[in-house]
């Protein structure tokens, strides 16, 4: 019994010092959530959804560039046209962009292949 | 010993329960802002009266190109804020939260909404119209207004909130994220952080309480 309490106490302290946080989630909250929403569903006709969006699925190789350089002009997402300007994030590293994409993958899509750092790095070299 | 501990626990629970109750009544929102005492002569006696801060006359143009003045809002309460359409930081959240209020009070004709752009250079009538259309709101319920830069910045000061150009901020402007609740006499009755859902819920409750109180009086 004593041993069990010890183990519980120890694991509690251990976990408390190492909160399991997803680095991509923190970045999403900081950089994306204001417009795209905590649920990734966007805001009416202003900001397009990420959740289950065809644009995201069909433009896999340019997503990293969009996060880094922003976007403007018309964009069609799930049959609707949006055209607010998306700000750039020039200070994000390749690793951070990879984490962000993988967070969105797991949060907003049911079956999508995760991104590797190599893939993102490649994509970023080929931005328009 | 055991009973004592139990008593103590019960006591703590009771105290913590009551300490969470908000004592400020939602039915009695104060009038905010500076007050001025004025001397008045009534029936030969000098008395001191208080003049409450109220929003001065304004005239702006809304998303339909129509003039909007204090009179447009004098039939009831309005919730107002300062934003700009290309704002990348807090405005999207404010718009989302204001939309919640809009949905809540859509059929309540005594409640209107007024959003001032602080980017008068970019946010023309046409840009505001597009913005309002995209979030699907009615022009006579939620006015998005533009005007002269000085006019907007001066009125922000009258609402006792900040709005200013700042080249170092994302988007080029800094401004308060407050939702301001104004009554039919142009008195400020409350400030709420428009980026915080709990604050917006509080606004909802307090505005409903004001409407209910007015109903009783009439």
Q: What is the ipTM of this complex?
A: 0.75
Contact call for residues B176 and B82 (beta carbons, < 8 A)? yes
Residue in A34, A45, A85 nearest the CB of B92: A34
In this prediction, residue B40 carries a pLDDT of 83
B111 backbone φψ class: left, alpha, beta (φ>0; ψ -120 to 50): beta
Between chain A and chain B, the number of residue pairs with CB atoms below 8 A apart is 32
**All structural domains of chain A:** 21-125 (1.10.760.10)
Tens digits of residue pLDDT in B170-210 = 788 888 899 999 999 999 999 999 999 999 999 999 999 99
The CATH T-level fold of domain B58-217 is Glutaredoxin (3.40.30)
- Average pLDDT for residues A27-55, to the nearest whole number? 95
Tens digits of residue pLDDT in B35-82 = 888 888 888 888 888 888 999 999 999 999 999 999 999 999 999 999
pLDDT over 90 (residue B22): no
Q: Which of A24-33, A44-53, A82-91, B19-28 has the lowest mean pLDDT?
A: B19-28
Q: In the structure encoding, which two tokens stand for residue A35, read together?
A: 């417009």
- Mark yes or no for CB contact B89/A85 under 8 Å: no
Bridge partners, B36 (sequence order): B51
Q: Which residues contact A46 (CB under 8 A, 6 or more apart)?
A: A35, A82, A84, B92, B95, B131, B134, B135
- Among candidates B172, B181, B167, B191, which has minimal Cα distance to B211? B181
Return the SS3 of B92.
helix
Contact with chain A for residue B92, Cβ under 8 A: yes
pLDDT over 70 (residue B3): no
């Amino acid at each position: 019994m004593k041993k069990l309490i010890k183990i519980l106490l120890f694991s509690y302290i251990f976990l408390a010092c190492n909160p399991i946080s997803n680095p991509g989630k923190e970045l999403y909250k900081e950089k994306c959530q204001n417009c795209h929403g905590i649920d990734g569903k966007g805001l009416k006709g202003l900001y397009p959804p990420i959740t289950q969006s065809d644009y995201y699925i069909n433009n896999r190789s340019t997503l990293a560039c969009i996060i880094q350089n922003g976007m403007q002009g018309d964009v069609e997402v799930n049959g609707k046209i949006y055209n607010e300007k998306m700000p750039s994030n020039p200070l994000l590293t390749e690793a951070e962009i990879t984490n962000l994409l993988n967070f969105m993958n797991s949060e907003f899509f049911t079956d999508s292949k995760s991104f590797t750092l190599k893939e993102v790095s490649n994509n970023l070299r080929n931005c328009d | 010993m055991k009973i004592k501990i139990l008593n103590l626990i019960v006591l703590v629970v009771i105290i913590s329960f009551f300490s969470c109750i908000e004592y400020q009544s939602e039915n009695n929102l104060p009038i905010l802002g500076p007050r001025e005492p004025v001397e008045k002569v009534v029936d030969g006696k000098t008395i001191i009266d208080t003049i409450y801060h109220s929003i001065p006359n304004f005239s702006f143009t809304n998303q339909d190109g129509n003039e909007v003045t204090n009179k447009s809002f004098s039939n009831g309460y309005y919730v107002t804020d300062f934003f700009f359409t290309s704002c990348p930081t807090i405005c999207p959240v404010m718009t989302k939260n204001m939309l919640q209020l809009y949905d809540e009070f859509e059929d309540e004709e005594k409640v209107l909404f007024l959003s001032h752009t602080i980017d008068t250079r970019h946010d023309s009538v046409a840009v505001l119209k597009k913005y309002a259309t995209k979030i699907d709101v009615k022009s006579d319920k939620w006015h998005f207004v533009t005007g002269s830069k000085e006019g907007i910045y001066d009125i922000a000061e009258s609402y006792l909130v900040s709005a200013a150009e700042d080249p170092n901020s994302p988007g080029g402007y800094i401004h308060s994220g407050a939702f301001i609740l104004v009554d039919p006499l142009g008195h400020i009755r409350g400030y709420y952080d428009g980026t915080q859902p709990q604050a917006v819920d509080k606004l909802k409750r307090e505005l409903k309480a004001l409407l209910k109180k007015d109903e009783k009086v009439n």
